[in-house]
Structure 1
Amino acid sequence: MGLGMAFILGTLAQRIRISPLVGYLLAGIAVGPFTPGFVADQSLAGELSEIGIILLMFGVGLHFSLKDLIAVRAVAVPGALMQIAASILIGGGVGWLLGFTPGACLIFGIALSVASTVVLLRTLQEQRLIETERGRLSVGWLIIQDLVTVLALVLLPIFAPIMQAGGHASISLGGILVAIALTIGKVAAFMALMLVVGQRVIPAILHYVAHTGSRELFRLSLLALALGVAFIATEWFDVSFALGAFVAGMVLSESELSHRAAEETLPLRDAFAVLFFISVGMLFNPLVLFRQPLPLLLTFLVIMIGTPLAVIGILRLLRQPWNTTLFIASGLAQIGEFSFILAALGVKMHVLDPHGRDLILGASILSILVNPFILMATQRIEAWIARRAPHPTDAVPDETGILLPPPVPTRLDDHVIVVGYGRVGRLVVDGLMRKGEKVLIVETGKISTPDYPPDRVECLVANAVESRTVKALNLEKARLLLVAIPEPFEAGQIISQARAIRKDLTIIARAHYDSAVEHLASLGADHVIMGEREMALAMLERSGAIVQPGA
């Protein structure tokens, strides 16, 4: 029922040009216990959503490496710590205005300081930003928030007596130091285990399974490894399962099987991630909008205004460009799963009032609902800044994203456009270079090309699906369009937009199955190459060369 409602409402949301996440959350509210009609199993939805978080973090880890984390440490570590401190102060101040105790103010502030990993990562994946500079910085920022949350979950029970007693109880400084040392030690031990043992064992297991030729076993091994490492991280090292799954994916990212692993886990990852948003929606009681409107509004403003302003100030202080600053500030303008855990702990310790938990819950739902619109608004703000920059032509983007100004149009003419620079795209470009063609490469991540002649090759780092990118391709003077990406829906959008601009352009695309071939051909592709069919034809051609005539 939850998935069915999510499909219906998510499709409606997409139809009216808003994020499908809004539809998923509304589906959770519709099947939740606070609205009339069918009520879904809340505990089951929560457990299944945790699988979605694990698979999502595992998938992000597959696109990451330890070098990427080290590269952003100079900004992510101080930036995230300063942002958390600023958000705690702002949130705690609002809690004080609402009459909370000092202990409740602290928990309230911490809960409002950590963003939802799932929401921000979904944004990064939808915009193909994981492997970009801002994507790596965002993930590094989330990991620091995750580690701080783990530390808070360990330390808060130690401080519970003094928070309950209003500051009259005493606690042991030695106990606090021991708890901090144990937490840091466990995290370090887990990381060491994964980097020393896991880096050898996990790829070896997957290589063995891949050589069996069983796709079913390969998918099963990925699920077992992702869930197993997350379980070990939580049960043995008291590390969050999300961080455990991320590290497992990061360890595997160095393997040549990482791309295949990402493809195989994608369908399950998407389905279970939808269940996360459904489970969040089920927690929301719409009556809180009427019972506590002013406290809810103040809590909401901390998330939507207080934290983003703090992030903007911090990142500008750290000399980050405006596009990165605005993207991270808007991406962090929401809270989610870790905030729920902290609020539940506060209530369990009898420090935070249940009304405070309801405010955190309600503000979280509203922030996730509004976040897509915040991203759209920041896109326009960033474009406005770019138009008024002293030298707008100097700010050529080196990464894709919803916040970048329109791509700079290509200078090439009579050229071949290659969309996608993966394994297929690289071979295509190499062949075109040998033929002496002029080539425009369009890719969403950073492009590492050989020493191609600069007068014959241009690289456009952008999402070719976006209409503003299509305008920069100079399709009117292009000789050929080669769509080398495997996703049929994205490829179809590119083909339909190109065909609308130029009717006589030759368009060649790739596909994995027959229905995708028909889909792309119906949208205007002149030729659609299906890998399996071409391999079969090549095998028949080669075998025909050695078969005697008439045999």
Structure 2
Amino acid sequence: MHQEVGLIATVAVSFVFAAILGYGADRLRLPPLVGYLMAGILMGPFTPGFVADTALAGQLAEMGVILLMFGVGLHFSASDLLAVRGIAVPGAIGRIILATLLGIGLCKLWGWSLGAGIVLGLSLSVASTVVLLKALEERNLVNAASGRVAVGWLIVEDLVMVLALVLLPALAELLGGNASDTTNHGLGDLPLALTIGLTLLKVVAFAAMAIFLGPRIVPWLLTMIARTGSRELFTLTVLAIALGIAFGSAAIFGVSFALGAFFAGVVMSESQLSHRAAADSLPLQNAFSVLFFVSVGMLFDPSILVRQPLAVIGALALVILGKGIITFLIVILLRYPISMGLTLAGGLAQIGEFSFILAGLGVSLGLLPHEGQDLILAAAILSITLNPIVIFATDGLKKYIHSKWPSLWESYGRSRQKALGKELEKIRALGEERERQHQLKMQQLIETFPLFSEVDEDAQEELLLLFKAKSAPPGERVIRRGDRGDSMYFISSGAVEVRLASGAIRLEPGAFFGEMALLTGGRRTADVIAVDFCQFEVLERRDFNMFMSHHPHLRAAVSEMAQQRTEMNVLRQQREKSMDLS
């Protein structure tokens, strides 16, 4: 009973404090994340007042990590990354290496080990996705070239950090830390090279299974669940896949929960239901993400600001000045515009989610002292708080450079930016075409059955999921007159002829036929022949009836429509008979 009360108290107080302080941070035009961290500090053992159960908070934080990484994988876009690969890949990797070297240098000054320097440097090298996206949204830059590059840069950083989470436990002993039983279980006292090799082999085996089997199983499973029409079952399935793959990857392959959750998101992103999965899981992701940041704040000892002010200033300077200058110089050396370099330098001059995960891992492996974790947390809180000021300063610097050297501002890096713009435009056009096709299909559906305009968009999407692809070569009889009707056809490409007694009617992409099969299940009244290579979207009557069972208020309207269509067909058949007699 005590544990139950502890859990309830920890969660309740965490949410209350986080809501109040998050709102306060937002009113101060700071990211709510700052408020969540402050809530954790107030609830932690280093400040007076209520002290939460840190053990329970740690487990809740682990859930937060899983769902955070699942969200990262779910929004991973290979096409976007490929479009900006020329700057994002070398830029992110180069900055991580240089920032890590600076971190190692700081630790050498403090007398810390190489392992501590690597963990500190890696933690300070990676930016917060949450903070950056908020900054881009406030300035309407998410879809601009600079915004797309920044997001691609973050994706590369996240991928490198995922690799770091895998390799650090394997390298822990070499770097002066402790071996990880959870990550390298079963490897025993093998030589280091073999340990690393087996660790990477496990990761590759897991990744291969996730990449090759996942896209075949997960989208199919999501589609099957979505066809049931149960939203809570769909949400439950999404979470079961995320947590199940994360746990299974750790139990079977010995990789981290974070890596398993990331691949779960990547696999699910291949499904046409990925947007719905993201939307349905977002509330839980947000809730546990808040608990994650609160639990991180609980670990922070504010006294380090007094005990080690120079160390805090050094870590903060590395994050803001060091990373900012490195980012700007890399962009300029890659011959991209000055404005893009300053935008990236300002937006990426902070640290966040992965920094906390790496710091926690470093402490658990004995690589990073608790003081180092406090420094990372201090640098995170201060850099996130100061980020709006840093961005404002870079905007001012843009104006100064533009006014001082206008020709350089206009000409430098423009050729690279034009090439990048073309790549991004292609991706945007493909996305718009997919959306147009989707909207066209929805429009065709509503034109066929106007009554479906009365249901909400989720129900319309649910109905679209029931369609199945089918093809037919020229000359194939798609529908035979007199057969029992069991499906309706939408023409995606190609053309068909509907052969009636009165003549043939040609139908092309965008048209449909066989709708009476859904309404009445009666026999076909015409032959339909493919006159070209055809692609159809087919809706079967049993699936249609299942959808109607979830929306009983539509039954009366469907029955009325069926009666009207039946009367129209009877009149048409009577006209055809009269024409034959004449």
What is the Cα deviation at residue 297 of structure 1?
1.1
C-alpha distance after superposition, 1:463-492 (max 9, x if no partner): xxxxxxxxxxxxxxxxxxxxxxxxxxxxxx
Match of 1:231 among 247, 253, 264: 247
| Matched residue, 2:327 | 311
Q: Which residue in the other structure is 2:281 paired with?
A: 265
Judged with a 3 Å threshold, the aligned counterparts in structure 2 of structure 1 residues 540 and 266 are, in CA distance, closer, same or farther, namely farther
The aligned amino acid for 1:258 is: S
What SS does the corresponding residue of 2:191 show, helix, strand or coil?
helix
1:296-334 CA deviation, whole Å, 9 max, x = no partner? 111221122112222222232223344543444334433
Asked if the contact 1:299/1:363 (under 8 Å) is kept, the reply is yes
- Measure the CA separation in 1 of the matches of 2:395 and 2:55: 38
1:83 to 95, 115, 137: 95
- Taking a change above 3 Å as real, the CA distance of residues 538 and 271 of structure 1, as seen in their structure-2 partners, is farther
**Separation of aligned partners in 2, 1:351 and 1:136:** 30
Q: 1:197 to 1:383 in 2, by over 3 A?
A: farther
How has the CA–CA distance of structure 1 residues 288 and 134 changed in structure 2, closer, same or farther, with 3 Å as cutoff? closer
Q: Does the 8 Å CA contact 1:53/1:118 hold for their aligned counterparts?
A: no
C-alpha distance in structure 2 between counterparts of 1:326 and 1:334, whole Å: 14
Matching residue of 1:31: 43
Q: Does 1:241 align with 2:285?
A: no
What does the per-residue CA deviation read over 1:385-424, in whole Å, with 9 as the maximum and x for residues that have no partner? 567754869889999xxxxxxxxxxxxxxxxxxxxx9679
2:163 aligns to what? Answer: 147
The separation in 2 between residues aligned to 1:79 and 1:351, in whole angstroms, is: 27
Kept in 1, the 8 Å contact 2:166–2:255? The answer is yes
CA contact (8 A) 1:45 1:275 kept: yes
CA contact (8 A) 2:31 2:384 kept: no
CA gap of 1:119–1:543, structure 2 versus 1, over 3 A, is: same
> For 1:265 and 1:349, how far apart are their aligned partners in 2?
32
Q: Does the aligned pair in 1 maintain the 2:31–2:134 contact within 8 Å? A: no
State the alpha-carbon separation in 1 of the partners of residues 15 and 230 from structure 2.
29
Matches within 5 A, 1:53-92: 53-92=65-104
Distance 1:396 1:537 in 2: 57
Deviations 1:4-41 (A, max 9, x none): 12222222232333322222222222222222222223
CA 1:203–1:345: 2 relative to 1, 3 Å = closer
Task: Name the CA shift for 1:54/1:344 in 2 (closer, same or farther; >3 Å).
Answer: closer
**Offset at residue 158 of structure 1 (A):** 2.9
Aligned residue in 1 for 2:17: 5
Change (3 A) 1:55 1:317: same
Name the residue aligned to 1:180. 196
8 Å contact from structure 2 (residues 76, 155) kept in 1: no
Displacement of 1:129 after TM fit?
A: 3.4
Matches within 5 A, 1:494-509: none
Give me the whole-angstrom Cα distance separating, in 2, the residues matched to 1:51 and 1:423: 37
Q: In the alignment, residue 297 of structure 1 is paired with which amino acid?
A: I
Pair 541,369 (structure 1): closer, same or farther in 2 beyond 3 Å: farther
Q: Which residue of the partner structure matches residue 206 of structure 1?
A: 222
**What pairs with 1:485-500 in structure 2 (closer than 5 Å)?**
none
How far has the Cα of 1:217 moved from its partner? 0.6
Structure 1 residues 267 and 143: alpha-carbon distance in aligned structure 2, compared to 1, 3 A threshold = same
Instruction: Answer whether contact 1:76 1:144 (CA < 8 A) is retained.
Output: no
Question: Which residue does the alignment assign to 1:374?
Answer: 390
Distance in 2 between residues matched to 1:161 and 1:7, nearest whole Å: 38
1:129 partner letter: V
1:364 aligns with 2:380: yes
Equivalence for 1:129: 142
User: What secondary structure is seen at the aligned counterpart in 2 of 1:157?
Assistant: coil
Cα distance change of structure 1 residues 102 and 197 upon mapping to structure 2, 3 Å threshold: closer
- Stretch of structure 1 that moved more, 254-263 or 244-253: 244-253
Return 5+ residue gaps in structure 2 as ranges: 1-12, 179-189, 422-433, 445-550, 568-582
Q: Mark the CA change 1:303 to 1:158 in structure 2 (over 3 Å): closer, same or farther.
A: same
Matched ranges for 1:94-493 at <5 A: 94-116=106-128, 119-120=131-132, 129=142, 132-160=148-176, 175-340=191-356, 342-344=358-360, 347=363, 352-382=368-398, 389-390=406-407
Question: Aligned equivalents of 1:31 and 1:307: distance in 2?
Answer: 32
- Whether the aligned pair in 1 keeps the contact of 2:315 and 2:375 (CA below 8 Å) is yes
Partner Cα distance (1:118, 1:543) in 2: 51
CA contact under 8 A between 1:65 and 1:254: conserved in structure 2? Answer: no
Correspondence 1:39-58 to 2 at 5 A:
39-58=51-70
Amino acid paired to 2:121 = G
Offset of residue 210 of structure 1: 0.7
Residue identity opposite 2:92 in structure 1: A
Give the CA deviation at 1:358: 2.8
Label 1:332 to 1:427 Cα distance change in 2 as closer, same or farther (>3 A).
same
Question: How much is the aligned-residue C-alpha RMSD, in angstroms?
Answer: 4.2
CA contact (8 A) 2:126 2:157 kept: no
In the superposition, relative to structure 1, how do residues 209 and 350 fare at CA in structure 2: closer, same or farther (>3 Å)?
closer
Counterpart CA distance in 1 for 2:168 and 2:35 is 33
Cα displacement (A) at 1:262: 1.8
Aligned-partner residue type, residue 84 of structure 1: I
Distance 1:539 1:259, change over 3 A: farther
- 1:284, 1:365 within 8 Å by CA — same for their partners in 2? no
Task: Give the Cα separation in 2 of the matches to 1:235 and 1:379.
Answer: 48
Percent of paired sites with the same residue? 47
Assess if the C-alpha contact under 8 Å between 2:177 and 2:366 holds in 1: no
**Corresponding residue SS for 2:175:** helix
Verify the 8 A CA contact 1:66 1:250 in the aligned structure 2.
no
The secondary structure found in structure 2 opposite 1:154 is: helix
Distance 1:233 1:121 in 2: 29
CA contact (8 A) 2:40 2:298 kept: yes
- For 1:545 and 1:253, how far apart are their aligned partners in 2? 43
TM-fit CA distance, 1:68:
3.7
Q: Which amino acid aligns with 1:214?
A: S
Cα deviation, residue 268, structure 1? 1.7
Asked if the contact 1:54–1:230 (Cα under 8 Å) also holds between the matched residues in 2, the reply is: yes
Aligned pair in 2 of structure 1 residues 318, 263: CA closer, same or farther (>3 Å)? same
Task: Give the distance between the partners of 1:318 and 1:124, measured in 2 at CA.
Answer: 22
* Superimposed CA distance per residue, residues 343-386 of structure 1 (whole angstroms, 9 cap, x where no aligned partner): 45555565544433332332233233333443444455456656
Determine the C-alpha separation between the residues in 2 that align with 1:280 and 1:79. 29
Residue identity opposite 1:175 in structure 2 = P
Change (3 A) 1:107 1:547: closer
- Seen in structure 2, the aligned counterparts of structure 1 residues 202 and 382 have a Cα distance that, compared at 3 Å, is farther
Instruction: Return the alpha-carbon distance in structure 2 between the equivalents of residues 121 and 51 of structure 1.
Output: 22
CA distance in 2, matches of 1:113, 1:54: 21
Which residue of 2 is the match for residue 20 of structure 1? 32
- Say if 1:221 and 1:101 are closer, same or farther in 2 by CA, change over 3 A: closer
Residue matched to 2:537: none
TM-score (norm 2): 0.61
Note the C-alpha offset of 1:207.
Answer: 0.8
Count of residue pairs brought into register by the alignment: 417
TM value normalised by structure 1: 0.64
